Amino acid sequence: MKTFKMLSFELLAEKGREKIPLEDGIVINQENSHKSWILELFISEKYKVIFEQLQASNEVFDVQVVISFPDNEPAPFRVVVGNIHVIGDRISVLLKGTITRRRTKYAEQLLKLLLEENLSGKELFERFEKGMRDRPLLKD
């Protein structure tokens, strides 16, 4: 098994993305034949209802997380909620699933999009820098 520090977490849904601030988080690659991963979030209790609903429905849903270094591309996962534990005014949420695809070359896709908007010079640089920091969803 390999363990990684989770730096950010986003819940992806048809209605959009919801960035959920982490108190702490860990990602574990189980390195088994099922290519299973475990994600554990330590977050505010105010998100408990969202995860309880997902757990009750046993719904498979998409998330993306930034692992290890802030400049890493978000890693996409399809997960289900395993367990939810209340710890004081926070919750620990255990998600189980698989990574959905490998690197997307986000920087190259963002740059291509900005060039198609005919941006150049300082404006191109500023929008690229902001896009790499905020990681908006890009159209294929």
- pLDDT at position 131, please? 83
The pLDDT, as a whole number, for residue 104 is: 60
pTM: 0.73
Q: What is the CATH number of the domain that holds 35?
A: 2.30.110
**Residue 32's pLDDT is what?**
87
Are 37 and 23 found together in one domain? yes
The total domain count for the chain is 2
pLDDT reported for residue 85: 97
The DSSP-derived string for the chain is: -EEEEEEEEEEEETTEEEE---SEEEEEE--STT-EEEEEEEEEGGGHHHHHHHHHHT--EEEEEEESSTTSPPEEEEEEEEEEEEETTEEEEEEEEEE--S---HHHHHHHHHHHTT--HHHHHHHHHHHHHH------
Separation between Cα atoms, residue 80 and residue 55, nearest integer Å: 7
Q: Distance between terminal CA atoms of the chain?
A: 33
For residue 8, the model assigns a pLDDT of: 95
Q: Are residues 20 and 75 in the same domain?
A: yes
Low-confidence residues in the chain, pLDDT < 50 = none
In-domain check, residue 80: yes
pLDDT at res. 94: 97
| 73 shares its domain with 126 | no
